[in-house]
Chains A and B, each alone.
Chain A
Amino acid sequence: MQVVVAEDLFLLRDGLTRLLSAHGFQIAAAVDTAPGLLRALLEHRPDVAVVDVRMPPGFADDGLQAALEARRQMPGLPVLLLSQYVEELYAREMLADQMGGVGYLLKDRVFTDNQFVDAIRTVAGGGTVLDPEVVTKLVGRRSHDGPIARLSGREREVLELMAEGRSNTAIAQQLFVTEKAVSKHTTSIFTKLGLAASEDDNRRVLAVLAYLNS
């Protein structure tokens, strides 16, 4: 699997390339500026990009802007954002095109390399992975009326884990239920959120979007 890594700090860039190589990814390019990232993405068209939000030259959200621009030119290009902070605002912007293939994680999550690698694979496969911190914040917020309010407690838990990018199998393990029960819940969630039967991955993305917009 071809990966482009964008990170301006040498230590982290080096660590990331080594970690990804060890898990069998091929590093197409490792860049340290936002313009460099955009060039590399357009040139290599990788299976997934791992991008730091804050990068030169502006040291603001340049990485995010480059990723958004790349996705405008190559719709659905899988991008996993890494950052010292997770901002719901940025998550919404990445998800706004409803194409999926979006991840947004705290840099800390690199520590647990298995989960991190799983997240990269989910994103590369068109899934959506949101950092548990964003999800926790969403849960903590008072839910207003809307389709989300119609979900049962268990369905909401399943949706939370879906937002974190877990597969049905992983959700079943986490909640100590059978996979069949989880798939029943997900079907019910899709129905309640009014998501027509289509490709499962896309529906998962839309469900997460509905969750963000609740």
Chain B
Amino acid sequence: MVVVWMLMILVWRMLSKMLRRFGRWALVMPVAGMAAALFGLNVWTAATILLALLLAVLLGLVLVGWRQAGRSGALPVAMLGAGICGLWTAASLVRSWGAVGFSMLNAFTIQAVVRGPAQRIVVESPVAASVHAAGPAVAKLRGLVVAPPGKGANFNWSGPSWRVYYGRAARVARPHVVILGHGLWWGRLLILGSLLLLAVGLWLSPRAVADLRALITRVAPRLERWRREGNWGILLVPVTSFGLTIFGVRPWTIAALVAAVVITIRWPRLAADLVPLVLVVFAAYGFMLVSRWVPGPTVLAAPQPTQFGAISVDSSQTSLLAGVEASALLAFGAWLFPRTIGAHSRAKPANGHEVELAGRVQRLTETRGHALDAAAAELRRIERDLHDGAQTRLVALGMNLRALERMLPASPEAARALAAEAIETSARALSDLRLLVRGIYPPVLADRGLGHAVRALALDTALPVELDIDLPGRLAAPVESACYFAVAEVFANAVKHSAARRIHLRIEHADDLLRIEVSDDGVGGADPAHGTGLSGVERRLGTFDGILAVSSPPGGPTMIAMEVPCRLLSPKTSSCSGTG
């Protein structure tokens, strides 16, 4: 088994290496090779394979259209599944091929398995050559044959079913005769078709994976919010159903389940508190079960076998497995304690509203700290930039002008040079100030808001950016600013680290929630935990109760979703989109 696994891993490595080197078209080679091995190489097979490839390419083109419409998620998965099923079916036929040999002419052999009490079987075979080649026993099938079950040389008794060999274009005229066999002919087509399906499925799968990731990124902020708010009560019903595996379906277990449902809906906080308790109780029961199986003088009689979760406990070995399961339950329960009962008892609230408030206060304290830190750092940066830049240049300018004043009567030439220098210095000071202001609050953002500012940013970015902006008004200035710099940071990352070819940006505002999604087709590997860029963005958005979710596996693509709850200040009718 291990060897087979290692072999499969090795083959997969080789395949992926080949894919990387030759692109996805490399898949054509194994398909063609397999087809050649199956059919032998002649004009007919070459023509068939070419036709099949043509069909595959046509199919591929249709699918590419589909995939650009962004609806390909399920399709490659279905194709891969169908391909694997096809190969599986073909593999199950291989045994019957072994019986008839592996030649071109055997392609006309069809295997039929007859189940039940067949009265008679009518077989017609107009293709003499194939019947002849399949052997003398089958040759008798030429023409119309009527035979009772179990009689005649043309039937081959094998166990509880009939196995019949007969020619191409045969008809089996009894309803209870089941044709399972597809013969080599169909088997080969099945293999070729399955391989093509697999190839196209594999070719399409990166997009499918990307779609899946996009879905995960879309859902991630909600999960994150859910995790933060600690809605663990929802686990009460599944945890209670664990009891069914131990005690079976009894009136009282069903009652407990119903009670769990009611508690989950009516008293979610109580439900959350009960989850770790129930887990611990089940774990204790599990340990008790284990202790009964411990060998030793205390065991007088073999205990009753019981079910514990997925394990049926009927020996000291299985009881150890049950022990492992109980430990897992205990660990999960212990992990949940501080997140449910612990948190609730710390808050000592009178009702659910106060729990929410307490959580909110904690979160606000955290984000206010971040906001103050960020503001302080920003002020320090501005102060430093002014001090080293514009301020210094203005001092130099003043000194120049003073020198100019002194020099003017004595040497007008030197004074002219000084004047030129002063002009240069003032231009530099202005340029410094421009840069500084751009870093504090970019002019287009101030003039027109987030949508246009992001468009201007896209024009400044070294990669082509596809924009899809649906923002029917202005947002509060601090939110606009935070989102603008978040997008700028993400763009800068994409340009610097991702080796992407293009960036896609989507901004939408609905139900008082601003949603920004940035994706690129680069190498991925972005991680908010490493480096300060993305974690800075996360903290900055956190000030506005915003959330950042990153999906960026090594190999790419990178998708970043941000959500900030905020209201539109002034609705306007226009929205902008375009490519820059």
Q: How far is the CB of A35 from chain B (nearest CB, A)?
A: 17
Chain B positions within 8 Å of A84 at CB level: 430, 434, 437, 443
Query: In the bound complex, what is the Cα–Cα distance between A161 and B459 (angstroms)?
Result: 20
CB-contact partner of B464 in A85, A87, A108, A144, under 8 A: A144
In the complex where A61-B448, A142-B462, A144-B464 touch, is A89 in contact with B430 (Cβ < 8 A)? no
Mark A65-84 against chain B: 1 for CB-CB distance below 8 A, else 0: 00000000000000000011
Known pairs A54-B447, A61-B447; A88 contacts B460 (CB<8 A): yes
Most chain A beta carbons < 10 A, residue from B434, B447, B456, B462: B447
Per the 8 Å Cβ criterion, residues 94-114 of A in contact with B are: 106-108, 111-112
Cβ-neighbour of A111 out of B423, B446, B448, B460 (below 8 A): B423
A60 at interface, CB cutoff 8 A = yes
List 12 contacting pairs A-B, 8 Å CB cutoff, sorted by A: A61-B447, A84-B434, A87-B444, A89-B444, A89-B452, A89-B455, A107-B430, A111-B423, A111-B427, A137-B460, A141-B462, A144-B464
Closest to A140 in B: B462
| C-alpha spacing A88/B452, complex, angstroms | 11
- Please give the residue numbers on chain A whose beta carbons come within 8 Å of chain B beta carbons, in ascending order: 54, 60-61, 83-85, 87-90, 92, 106-108, 111-112, 137, 141-142, 144
A61 and B452 alpha carbons, distance in the complex (Å)? 12
Helix, strand, loop or mixed for chain B's interface? helix
Q: How far, in angstroms, from A111 to B421 measured CA to CA in the complex?
A: 13
Which residues of the partner chain A approach B456 to less than 8 Å between Cβ atoms?
A: 87-89
Q: Across the A-B interface, how many residue pairs have beta carbons closer than 8 Å?
A: 45
Tell me whether A60 and B459 are in contact (CB under 8 A): no
**Neighbouring A residues of B446 by C-beta, 8 Å:** 60
Assess whether B426 is interfacial by the CB under 8 Å rule: yes
Whether A108 and B430, one on each chain, are in contact in the complex, defined by CB atoms closer than 8 angstroms, is yes
Q: Which residues of B contact A83 (CB under 8 A)?
A: 443
B residues neighboring A (CB under 8 Å)? 423, 426-427, 430-431, 434, 437-438, 443-444, 446-448, 452, 455-456, 459-460, 462-464
Instruction: Contact check, B448 vs A60: say whether CB atoms are below 8 A apart.
Output: yes
* Among A85, A88, A107, A108, contact of B459 (Cβ-Cβ < 8 Å): A88
**B529 → A minimal CB distance (Å):** 31
Give every chain A residue within 8 A of B464 (Cβ-Cβ). Answer: 144
CA of A108 to CA of B447, assembled, Å: 21
A135 CB to closest chain B CB, in angstroms?
Answer: 14
For the complex, what is the distance from the CA of A89 to the CA of B448, rounded to whole Å? 11
- Which of chain B's residues have a CB closer than 8 A to the CB of A85? 434, 437-438, 443
Instruction: For the complex, give the distance between the alpha carbons of A141 and B446 in Å.
Output: 24
Tell me the bound Cα distance from A106 to B430 in angstroms.
10
> Which partner residue on chain B sits nearest A90 by CB separation?
B444
In the bound complex, how far is the Cα of B439 from the Cα of A52, in angstroms? 22
A106 to B423, CA, bound (A): 15
Contact partners of B447 in chain A: CB under 8 A = 54, 60-61
What residues of A have a CB within 8 angstroms of the CB of B460 in the complex? 88, 137, 141
Q: Is the CB of B444 within 8 A of A111?
A: no
Residues on A with C-beta less than 8 A from B448 are: 60-61
Could you say which residues of chain A place their CB within 8 Å of the CB of B463? 142
Contacts A84-B443, A89-B459, A108-B431 aside, 9 further interface pairs with beta carbons under 8 A come to A60-B447, A84-B434, A85-B437, A87-B456, A89-B444, A90-B444, A92-B459, A108-B430, A142-B463
